[in-house]
Amino acid sequence: MSTSSTAGKVIKCKAAVLWEPKKPFSIEEIEVAPPKAKEVRIKIVATGVCRSDDHVVSGQLATPFPVILGHEAAGIVESIGEGVTTVKPGDKVIPLFTPQCGKCEVCRHPESNFCMKNDLILPRGSMQDGSIRFTCRGKPIHHFISTSTFSEYTVVDEISVAKIDPAAPLEKVCLIGCGFSTGYGSAVQVAKVTKGSTCAVFGLGGVGLCVIMGCKAAGAARIIGVDINKDKFAKAKEVGATECINPQDFKKPIHEVLTEMTGGGVDFSFEVIGRHDTMISALSCCHGAYGVSVIIGVPPGATNLEMNPMLLLTGRTWKGAIFGGYKSKDAVPKLVADFMAKKFQLDSIITHVLPFEKINEGFDLLRSGKSIRTILTF
């Protein structure tokens, strides 16, 4: 095992610190403590800009401040703590915002993936042992969903990192850390799209495009994209949509349009927007007796949704999942292998690549709708 000259020492490096909500990121010099037992210190090479990071900036997603955000990344292991067996220094890795401890009831369940050790639902903003590895200007800085990848170096628990193919291009496969897997897995793993089926995808942003790729890979015969922005249609067709519709072009509610277009309803529908009305439309447009509808979008705030139970009583299934339902540590290396085997591509969703220092520009591109995915490189 190779040992780096920095192993066991505090590393001073660059990071984007978010001191408080609704403020720009501040590029700072921080100190990153060495990994403790069962922890891994990673040199981040590339990290994507995801909507959920922006939800923290805007105050819609609560997590302790000050904080280092970022959760969609790839890097190289710099050093490991005592007892780490699944990665070693020099390995290429992807941090996992949904861990896989392998021991909890969720990890032991064959069909579920939302490990009990996640730091998403009741975020502590720390390592599993409750302590913190980052300081800046003498202050402790919190972690974010077990990853904190907007930093040249980060420390994660061994259950929150997966080793990947050493030949993988990190500036692309970083998307397997969130956006790609969330969308693609929702089609192949959560909905279990079948060969020859008809699918409807509501919302043609980066994640929606990955849902389309998943539907296509699963052999869907018809994939209908739904978006109020017709500029999104070309790319959706490029990745596999067979037709695209804009709800604003119709007088009838869009679920009725889809039901007519498909002679009774689609087999699988996906809500990839994060709105109550489109969640109901997506559910309603799937076949009343056997349609499956998957919620991927998170609506703003912890709000309730009204629905008519008859929609389910006739036989529809309504589902949702985090990270495309994938057991993260098992699935990520396989998804990278599938990417290397050219089973899917990631270029269509990468619209911008910026140096890490331009992180605020990356978020402006996201907020203005000009980017699909921006990758920040160190």
Q: β-pairing, 373-377 with 39-48?
A: antiparallel
| Closer of 80 and 363 to ligand COD (Cβ) | 363
Given 45, 77, 87, 101, the residue binding Zn ion (CB under 5 A): 101
Instruction: List the one residue from 148, 182, 269, 348 that touches ligand COD (CB under 6 A).
Output: 182
- Ranked by CB distance to ligand COD, the top (closest) residue is 205
The residue (of 104 and 340) whose beta carbon lies closer to Zn ion is 104
- Kindly identify the residues of this chain, within the stretch 257-296, that bind ligand COD according to CB under 6 A: 272-275, 278, 296
Q: What is the CA radius of gyration of the chain?
A: 21
Q: How many amino acids of this chain bind ligand COD (CB under 6 A)?
A: 27
Q: How many CA atoms lie within 13 A of 101 on its CB side?
A: 12
Angle, helices 51-58/359-367, rounded to nearest 10 degrees: 90
Amino acid (1-letter code) at residue 205: G
The active-site residue out of 101, 178, 244, 285 is 178
Q: Does 365 bind ligand COD (CB under 6 A)?
A: no
**Closer CB to ligand COD, residue 35 or residue 70?**
70
What is the rounded CA–CA span in Å between residue 328 and residue 60?
25
Active site residue 199: no
Is the four-CA dihedral 77, 80, 86, 89 of positive or negative sign? positive
User: What is the rounded end-to-end Cα distance, in angstroms, of the chain?
Assistant: 25
Q: Do residues 169 and 346 lie in contact, with contact meaning Cβ atoms separated by under 8 Å?
A: no
Q: Torsion over CA of 29, 61, 324 and 106, rounded to 10 degrees?
A: 100
Least distance from C-beta 95 to Zn ion, angstroms? 12
Q: Does 208 bind ligand COD (CB under 6 A)?
A: yes
> Could you give the string, one character per residue 59-98, with x where binding to Zn ion holds by CB under 5 A and - elsewhere?
----------------------------------------
CB of 245 to ligand COD, least distance (A): 10
Chain Cα centroid distance, residue 269: 19
Take residue 77 and report the two structure tokens written for it: 């292991």
Residue 104: which of ligand COD, Zn ion, none does it interact with, CB under 5 to 8 A by kind? Zn ion
The tokens for 12 are 């001073």
Residue 178 touching ligand COD (CB under 6 A): yes
- Which of 30/49 has CB closer to ligand COD? 49
Rounded to whole angstroms, the Cα distance separating 17 from 137 reads 11
Query: What is the per-residue binding string for ligand COD in 14-53, x denoting contact by CB under 6 A?
Result: ------------------------------------xxx-
Decide whether 6 or 63 has the Cβ nearer to ligand COD.
63
Task: State yes or no: residue 204 binds ligand COD (CB under 6 A).
Answer: yes
Neighbouring C-alpha atoms within 13 Å toward the C-beta of 223:
29
Which residues, including other chains, have CB under 8 Å from residue 7's CB and lie 6 or more apart? 34, 78, 79, 89
Q: In what order do the strands lie in the sheet with 317-320?
A: 243-245, 222-226, 198-202, 268-271, 292-295, 317-320
**Cα gap 93→111, rounded to integer Å:** 25
Q: Is 203 in the site for ligand COD (CB under 6 A)?
A: yes
| Closest of 354, 355, 374 to residue 366, by C-alpha | 374
Q: Does 52 bind Zn ion (CB under 5 A)?
A: yes
Q: Candidates 44, 87, 115, 273: give the one binding Zn ion (CB under 5 A).
A: 115
Instruction: Reply yes or no on whether 55 is catalytic.
Output: yes
Active site residue 5: no
Q: Which of 13, 55, 104, 112 is catalytic?
A: 55
Give me the active site residues, please. Answer: 50, 52, 55, 71, 178
What residues make contact with ligand COD under the rule CB under 6 A?
A: 50-52, 178, 182, 202-208, 226-229, 232, 247, 272-275, 278, 296-298, 322
